Amino acid sequence: MAYWLFKSEPSSFSLEDLMARAAPEPWSGVRNYQARNFMRAMRVGDLGFFYHSSCATPAIVGEVEVVRPYYPDTTALDPEDHHYDPRALANPELWSMVDVAFRERYARPVTLARLKDCPPLSGMRLLARGNRLSILPVTEEEWRIIRGLASVA
DNA sequence: GCCAACGTTGGC
DNA sequence: GCCAACGTTGGC
């Protein structure tokens, strides 16, 4: 069992959007090799934080669960899609996605400011200088500490 | 809107 | 293989 962090701009896809879905949601559109490789390392049952970025109050707002291991990201094949990548036409395995299901929405999101104020979390990749990856690994200790900050049992 | 940091691209 | 230019990300 591993832990991850999924980053999304709430203006395009929020945790509330995920909650409204009846079925698990493909986490599509990732076009960064490191982030792709993290998805390829995911296994069913892995858990992840849902992080809202590029918004008024960046924060971890809840949790998701990986419910399907990686498979080809078909949005790369769609010329109408914003994440279309013609290189995938000859290589459909180029980009990957996993399916995630909603797990929990925190009554009190753990804001980026709060994460920064928590010394035990100073090593978090999310807090690293210049971090831009949309998928990040989270250690078991970080997972436990952050759930504590969110007052989740 | 600004700017720093980063990944990717492409010329050489 | 180097490296400058460019586009993107994301906090502020």
Neighbour tally for A73: CB within 10 Å:
27
Contact A136, A126 (CB under 8 A): yes
Residue range A113-153, pLDDT digits in tens: 999 999 999 999 999 988 899 999 999 999 999 999 998 75
- Distance CA A34 to C1' C1 in A: 22
Give yes or no for CB of A7 within 7 Å of strand C: yes
- Distance CA A59 to C1' C12 in A: 15
Q: Kindly tell me if the per-residue pLDDT of A85 is higher than 60.
A: yes
Strand B: which bases are under 7 Å from protein Cβ?
Answer: 4-8
- Distance CA A133 to C1' C2 in A: 25
- The CA-based angle A107-A52-A109, given to 5 degrees, is 20
Least confident of A82-86, A100-104, A105-109, A123-127: A82-86
Chain-centroid distance of CA A19 in Å reads: 15
Cα A16 to Cα A20: distance, rounded to the nearest angstrom? 6
Q: Please report the domains of chain A, with CATH numbers, ordered by start residue.
A: 3-146 (3.10.590.10)
| Collapsed DSSP state (helix, strand, coil) of residue A77 | helix
Nucleotide nearest to A130 (CA to C1'): B5
| Collapsed DSSP state (helix, strand, coil) of residue A141 | helix
- Distance CA A73 to C1' C6 in A: 26
Residues 6+ apart with CB under 8 A from A86: none
The reply to whether the predicted model has a pTM over 0.75 is yes
Mean pLDDT of A93-102: 96
